[in-house]
Structure 1
């Protein structure tokens, strides 16, 4: 095998191992999320900027969760639990939690920046 073929093979092999680590998930990016309370004593409206990186959700608030490749949302925000669906650059769903031990619930809406 010539040196040129060895180098070309090495570059192709390296590209194959690096690409998955750099691959973006379909919903990665910055999102604006509006949380609306429909029942209970929780704050009536909260707006949060959230970031999705490799399908993991993070933000300034106490946030953890994930977005699946098909846009399925499963997130915990400040002790409340949310689920729903993203599609393209928007999404919505439901949430539930508590404030001072009293149950709260509502909807959330999101749009990608």
Structure 2
């Protein structure tokens, strides 16, 4: 008989705790980011800027063949139009390196990002 009283009490306690728990927070880097890419070596475009969106840790941009992720700790791993970038986001900014090719000639450089 004692077990029959404890089970409903445990269920009510768990349900009330779940109802008052905060909602699961999104990815810490979700949002719009302004990214500037600068070529240091090679014949790629000297500099370009664009806006990227991070949603649930996944990177996207309208009209771009982009794939990649941002880890919860800010680790960046992205591929865009045949170029590869890695680096780190911290708070509202970040930076890293990229490499790719233009007409088969290798090029590389740095990128910087800031949250909009």
1:1-113 mapped onto 2 (5 Å cutoff): 19-20=23-24, 23-60=25-62, 61-113=64-116
Q: In 1, distance between residues paired with 2:20 and 2:45?
A: 49
Q: In 1, distance between residues paired with 2:53 and 2:78?
A: 12
Instruction: Structure 1: give runs of 5+ residues left out of the alignment.
Output: none
**TM-score, normalization: structure 2?**
0.80
Number of residue equivalences: 107
Tell me the alpha carbon deviations over residues 23-68 of structure 1, each in whole angstroms, 9 at most, x when there is no partner: 4100000000000000001001110100000000000222110000
Instruction: Structure 2: give runs of 5+ residues left out of the alignment.
Output: none
For the residue of structure 2 that corresponds to 1:25, the secondary structure is: coil
**TM-score, normalization: structure 1?**
0.82
Task: Please say which structure displays the higher CA radius of gyration.
Answer: 2
